């Protein structure tokens, strides 16, 4: 799955250069190339066919004289190529490789639940059934909507896909090593040009089309590009591990919430750093066991903050967990108000560049969830982080610091 912004030459790479290389490496194989319309698919086919004819001496093959229509042609060493529109008929054809390039025609189609469902059904019923054993699918697209074809595949079968996501402006932990904010192709569009485009089209369109992280209508709160990833330090004091609790085990058919414990540190200057994230989707016993073992690993200097559900059941659970955590400083409190409202003080700290995270294999999952909050499908890590932040800010500041009100500065 190749997710790149408009104007990044992704179709040239994936629909023209790549299949030419593919035929040179896999003589006699069959390729089906699909786009949102037959016209676009034929456009890629024409460019590919011309490239092969021009570079036949380097590639080692040419277009066959017996079959050379723009939508269906073969190579002189037995390869076959078919160009179709999305939802076009491919019955009776089998493929070693299926390339899907730009399956969505427009934002209007992306916003239409009916059109999204049509594309999804086409992929399930036609594409997957046309693959030969060990066949491959390459999906090239610009993301438009959280539930577009790329989004549904990532939600339902993420483990089956290798994803190459290259946003227009680099984010933390960039896959090709760019510094945060660096343009993908500065010779084509530099940072300043992309920033002007961002201001023109708005945050939602920018996040979807250029950063490949589409959001539902409503925008986002956290500016994750302001969060620096730093090497782990030796934080000793002013630490809290806050939990967001769930107790439904995953069974292969459901998508339960996570139990999450976020460890947060406030340094002597008043800045915050996320040190660690622990997550589990398990039974109530497994959840309780994780909370206790994590507290033992963190040590008694780390405060344990746990939400208390309303009602007698919530009180009983907190009483039990507090007994299990004897010797630790446990804070239990109820949560009130909307999640977005509770998160706003932390949002301000992120905007001001006062939150960083220690480098770890959990970074990407956390940043993705923060980026999508409050419209994402999961918010367990954000809930735990907000609780940790609230717990720390409700306690006295580190010794030696001076608290000044905004108006006194």
Q: Which domain holds residue 26?
A: 2-165
User: Is residue 368 in some structural domain?
Assistant: yes
Are residues 10 and 90 part of one domain?
Answer: yes
Are residues 354 and 254 part of one domain?
Answer: yes
Are residues 229 and 153 part of one domain?
Answer: no
Query: Torsions phi, psi of 43, nearest 5?
Result: -60, -45
User: Is residue 185 in some structural domain?
Assistant: no
Are residues 253 and 145 part of one domain?
Answer: no
Q: How far, in Å, CA of 374 to CA of 216, rounded?
A: 10
pLDDT at 406: 36
User: Is residue 289 in some structural domain?
Assistant: yes
The answer to whether residues 273 and 233 touch, using CB atoms and an 8 Å cutoff, is: yes
pLDDT at 405: 38
Query: Torsions phi, psi of 155, nearest 5?
Result: -75, -40
pLDDT at 386: 95
pLDDT at 117 over 70: yes
The answer to whether residues 353 and 397 touch, using CB atoms and an 8 Å cutoff, is: no
Are residues 286 and 154 part of one domain?
Answer: no
Q: How far, in Å, CA of 17 to CA of 67, rounded?
A: 21
The answer to whether residues 82 and 48 touch, using CB atoms and an 8 Å cutoff, is: no
Domains in the chain: how many in total?
A: 2
Higher pLDDT, 111 or 69: 69
Tens digits of residue pLDDT in 177-198: 998 889 999 999 999 999 898 8
User: Is residue 201 in some structural domain?
Assistant: no
User: Is residue 401 in some structural domain?
Assistant: no
User: Is residue 78 in some structural domain?
Assistant: yes
pLDDT at 344 over 90: no
Are residues 234 and 112 part of one domain?
Answer: no
The answer to whether residues 306 and 323 touch, using CB atoms and an 8 Å cutoff, is: no
pLDDT at 403 over 60: no
Q: Provide mean pLDDT across the span 8-33.
A: 95
pLDDT at 205: 79
pLDDT at 18 over 70: yes
Are residues 235 and 154 part of one domain?
Answer: no
Are residues 144 and 272 part of one domain?
Answer: no
CATH of the domain at 386: 3.30.420.240
Residue with tokens 């923060």: 370
CATH of the domain at 128: 3.40.50.300
How wide is the angle at C-alpha 234 spanned by C-alphas 232 and 236, nearest 5°?
A: 135
The answer to whether residues 75 and 85 touch, using CB atoms and an 8 Å cutoff, is: no
Tens digits of residue pLDDT in 366-400: 998 898 887 777 899 999 999 999 999 987 655 44
User: Is residue 318 in some structural domain?
Assistant: yes
The answer to whether residues 377 and 407 touch, using CB atoms and an 8 Å cutoff, is: no
Higher pLDDT, 399 or 166: 166
What's the token pair of residue 101? 């390039």
Among left, alpha and beta (phi > 0; psi -120 to 50; other), residue 337 is left
Q: How far, in Å, CA of 42 to CA of 85, rounded?
A: 9
User: Is residue 16 in some structural domain?
Assistant: yes
How wide is the angle at C-alpha 167 spanned by C-alphas 161 and 171, nearest 5°?
A: 105
The answer to whether residues 278 and 294 touch, using CB atoms and an 8 Å cutoff, is: yes
Are residues 287 and 160 part of one domain?
Answer: no
The answer to whether residues 171 and 225 touch, using CB atoms and an 8 Å cutoff, is: yes
């Amino acid at each position: 799955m190749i997710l790149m912004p408009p104007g990044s030459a992704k179709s040239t790479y994936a629909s023209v250069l790549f299949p030419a290389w593919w035929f040179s490496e896999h003589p006699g194989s069959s390729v089906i190339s699909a786009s949102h319309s037959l016209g676009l698919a034929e456009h890629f086919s024409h460019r590919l066919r011309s490239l092969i004819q021009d570079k036949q001496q380097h590639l080692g093959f040419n277009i066959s004289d017996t079959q050379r229509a723009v939508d269906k042609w073969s190579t002189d060493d037995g390869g076959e190529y078919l160009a179709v529109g999305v939802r076009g008929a491919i019955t009776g054809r089998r493929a070693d490789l299926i390339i899907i390039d730009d399956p969505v025609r427009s934002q209007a189609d992306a916003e239409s639940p009916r059109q999204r469902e049509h594309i999804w059904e086409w992929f399930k019923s036609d594409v997957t059934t046309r693959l030969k054993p060990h066949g491959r699918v390459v999906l090239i697209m610009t993301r438009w909507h959280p539930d577009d074809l790329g989004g549904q595949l990532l939600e339902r079968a993420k483990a089956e896909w290798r994803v190459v996501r290259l946003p227009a402006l680099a984010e933390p932990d960039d896959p090709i090593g760019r510094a945060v904010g660096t343009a993908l192709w500065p010779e084509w569009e530099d940072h300043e040009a992309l920033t002007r485009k961002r201001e023109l089209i708005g945050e939602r369109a920018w996040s979807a089309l250029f950063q490949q992280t589409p959001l539902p209508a409503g925008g986002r709160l956290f500016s994750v590009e302001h969060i620096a990833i730093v090497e782990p330090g030796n934080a000793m004091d002013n630490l809290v591990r806050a939990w967001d609790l769930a107790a439904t085990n995953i069974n292969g058919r459901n998508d339960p919430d996570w139990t999450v414990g976020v460890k947060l540190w406030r340094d002597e200057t008043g800045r915050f750093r996320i040190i660690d994230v622990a997550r589990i989707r398990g039974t109530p016993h497994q959840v309780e066991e994780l909370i206790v073992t994590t507290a033992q690993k963190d040590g008694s200097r780390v405060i344990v903050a746990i939400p208390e559900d309303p009602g007698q059941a919530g009180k009983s659970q907190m009483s039990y967990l507090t007994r299990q955590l004897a010797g630790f400083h446990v804070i239990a409190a109820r949560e009130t108000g909307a999640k977005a409202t509770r998160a706003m003080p932390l949002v301000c700290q992120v905007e001001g560049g006062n939150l960083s995270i220690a480098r770890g294999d959990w970074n990407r999952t956390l940043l993705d969830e923060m980026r999508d909050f409050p419209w994402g499908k999961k918010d367990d890590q954000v809930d735990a982080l907000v609780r940790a932040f609230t717990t720390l800010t409700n306690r006295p500041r580190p010794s030696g610091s001076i608290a000044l009100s905004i108006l006194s500065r």
